[in-house]
Amino acid sequence: MITPSQDRRSFISMVGVALTPTLVADRSRAAESYTGFSLREPAVQSQSAWTEFQASTTHTGAATESEILTDPVKIKWQAGTTGAITTAVACAENKVFVGSRDGNLYAIDQETGTIQWQYEVDGQATGGVAVQGSQVYVGDDQGRLYAVTTDGALLWTYQSPDDGLYLPITTSADYIAFIGTVEAGISHHLHILDHDGAEILIESGTELAGNENSSFQSVVPTLDEHAVYVPTAGGMAYVNIENQRTEWKGGFFTTAVSLVNQSLVGADWGSISGASATDGDSQWSASIPDDEIYFGLTNSPAVVGRSVLTAVGSRDNEKGYVYSHDFVTGDRNWETRINARLRSAAVTDGTHVYVGDEAGTVHALSVNTGAQAWTVETDGAIYSELAIQDGVLYVGSNDGYLYAIHNAPPNDPPTPQIDITPSKPQQGDTVQFDATASSDDDSIQRYEWDLDGNSVADATGPTFSHAFSSSGEYTIQLSVTDSDGVTKSTTRSVQVIERDSATPTTREQPENTSSGDQTPETRPNSTPQSQTPSETSLFDEQRGLFVPGDGLIINGLSAWSLSAIGFLVSIAGVAYSLVRDR
């Protein structure tokens, strides 16, 4: 988990609250929305690239060309690092770039989630990430900015005078802009560099505005061609990069602002506001009446159509809210309570607004109504900034994983298959049941066997064995459940044959009364054949005469030989009698 000393953003937020109570108290915080202003209807925003915090330099947090994520969704992949992920996420060249507190910048394949390369920084990778062209920018907690190619080669580094870089980085075609932070949470420097790492501007808010109440808020600047919008403790500062001067100061914001149609939208300690991007004049301010609501520095709004979508936390750290306000009038459209604190900015694809909470849950809410569409659980608190591109929502987690969430592909149900060995068992035989030939388009998570038709599993697992104590026909049911929770069943009959208990394992020869006691020969596996008296013959075993090969030897003579001799003797006796009687 992130320790208090690591989580500088929270620390800086608390210091900022302490530094600005007078300014906040002097501001009018009317609960109603102000009308009668020149804020224009927003144009339809079309955006597919997501190269930094809140998508681009204007920080609208919208990806309206992305495929809509609708229920059911699932985790496409999760890529592991060894430290918490708290930075913004950027996408380019079929890669996802993210920094980890394990000290590495990672490039992850968007399709498979495999780590393609990692670059080690001096400390923890806490600032950024942003991509411009073929260059990736990341900051560390030692105050150093790194420029790395999208293939992982170091181009240059820049050492900031500030203690660390903990905030997102923004880049345009000409500039790199970021705020460095110091331990005390004050005197932050605005840095403007070119893409070769050369300094164009490095000033504190006091130096730029000449006012001690103008220290920069700890948020990412908003770039607009050759100017940058930076919230300060004294109001929004519009800094001309070319002449390095603060042109004007206007509406008060403590979050990064979204720039839409020359209008600025952001939040402060208890309000959500709209202001002119040309002079900073406040156009509307919608106060949040709940005193427990806490607008952190990272709770920047997302803007799509006429919806201003803001995720906020609470002072008790036990809940959060997502609000929708009208971009033109400032009227509140809806609010939705989340039962955990929200620490990162909201993002949207135009249909849903997505937020992550400290309990590790990703929430999708309807942009129109605030109704919850779906949730996905991760294993750690979510502090990082979310990203959307090409129908995939990327979420960095405190558990060290980057999660990719997408629409669940059409699910083909599993195909169960039963193999039985032996196929015709006798009662008492051990029968093997095998379901390993079952298949699914993803994976099978559960196997259940029902042997008696009562819809209760008698065994689980892909294989098992069973011996049937009784003969008869049995119907075996196999139910398999895939990774999407879809269950499919099949049945197969098995015929158990009755084992004949009268079948002898040995056979005795019939007793030969004419030659005394005989030792019978053992005949394994011999089954006697029943015969009727009319079917018996002289050579039948039951009569004991002329049985070829019976193996019975008496003084070297077989039984049939003795019988033949007796027959001849009988004939001789008859002949003798006839001769004598004459």
* Residue range 285-330, pLDDT digits in tens: 998 866 567 666 678 899 999 999 999 887 777 889 999 999 999 9
Predicted pLDDT at 564: 66
Which residue has 């208090």 as its token pair? 4
* Average pLDDT along the chain: 81
Residue 403, CA distances (Å) to 53, 103, 247 in order? 17, 19, 42
β-partners of residue 302 are 309
DSSP 235-274: EEEEEETTTTEEEEE-S--SS--EEETTEEEEE-SSEEEE
Over 70: is that where the pLDDT of 123 sits?
A: yes
Q: What angle do CA 191, 97, 71 make, to 5 degrees?
A: 120
Predicted pLDDT at 568: 76
Over 50: is that where the pLDDT of 6 sits?
A: no
Over 50: is that where the pLDDT of 24 sits?
A: no
> Is the dihedral angle over the CA atoms 430, 431, 437, 438 positive or is it negative?
negative
Over 80: is that where the pLDDT of 29 sits?
A: no
Q: Which domains does the chain have, with CATH numbers?
A: 8-19+33-373+390-407 (2.130.10.10), 419-496 (2.60.40.10), 547-582 (no CATH)
> What mean pLDDT is predicted for residues 259-268?
92
Over 50: is that where the pLDDT of 537 sits?
A: no
Residue 548 amino acid letter: P
Predicted pLDDT at 91: 96
Over 70: is that where the pLDDT of 508 sits?
A: no
Distance CA 35, CA 285 (A): 10
Over 90: is that where the pLDDT of 449 sits?
A: yes
Distance CA 394, CA 110 (A): 10
> What mean pLDDT is predicted for residues 4-31?
38
- Taken as a whole, the chain contains a residue count of 582
Predicted pLDDT at 517: 44
Q: Identify the burial level of 237 via C-beta atoms within 10 angstroms of its C-beta, where 0-12 means exposed, 13-18 middle and 19 or more buried.
A: buried
User: pLDDT per residue over 360-383, tens digit each?
Assistant: 999 999 999 999 999 999 999 999
Predicted pLDDT at 186: 55
- Tell me if 113 sits within 8 A of 418, measured CB to CB: no
pLDDT over 70 percentage in the chain: 75
User: pLDDT per residue over 565-578, tens digit each?
Assistant: 667 767 777 677 67
Predicted confidence band of residue 31 (pLDDT cuts 50, 70, 90): very low
Residue 245, CA distances (Å) to 174, 188, 197, 206, 215 in order? 18, 17, 21, 12, 15
Phi (first) and psi of residue 245, to 5 degrees: -130, 150
Over 90: is that where the pLDDT of 184 sits?
A: no
Over 70: is that where the pLDDT of 451 sits?
A: yes
Looking at per-residue pLDDT, the higher value among 379 and 39 belongs to: 379
Tokens, residue 577: 């009698």
Q: Tell me which DSSP letter residue 403 carries.
A: E
User: pLDDT per residue over 144-159, tens digit each?
Assistant: 999 999 999 999 999 9
Tokens, residue 482: 């895939």
> What mean pLDDT is predicted for residues 8-20?
40
- Tell me if 460 sits within 8 A of 480, measured CB to CB: no
Predicted pLDDT at 292: 61
Predicted pLDDT at 374: 97
Residue 258, CA distances (Å) to 17, 206, 232, 353 in order? 22, 24, 15, 16
Predicted pLDDT at 266: 92
> What mean pLDDT is predicted for residues 189-203?
94
Q: Give the helix ranges, DSSP H, for 191-325.
A: 205-209
Which residue has 């920080």 as its token pair? 59
- Tell me if 465 sits within 8 A of 433, measured CB to CB: yes
Report residue 451 CA to chain centroid gap: 36
Predicted pLDDT at 11: 40
- Tell me if 301 sits within 8 A of 61, measured CB to CB: yes
Predicted pLDDT at 538: 44
Predicted pLDDT at 582: 59
* Number of neighbours of residue 64 by Cβ within 10 angstroms: 18
Q: What spatial distance separates the first Cα and last Cα of the chain, rounded to whole Å? A: 132
251-260, 514-523, 538-547: segment of lowest average pLDDT: 514-523
Over 70: is that where the pLDDT of 560 sits?
A: no
Predicted pLDDT at 233: 83
Predicted pLDDT at 211: 59
> What mean pLDDT is predicted for residues 108-123?
97
Predicted confidence band of residue 524 (pLDDT cuts 50, 70, 90): very low
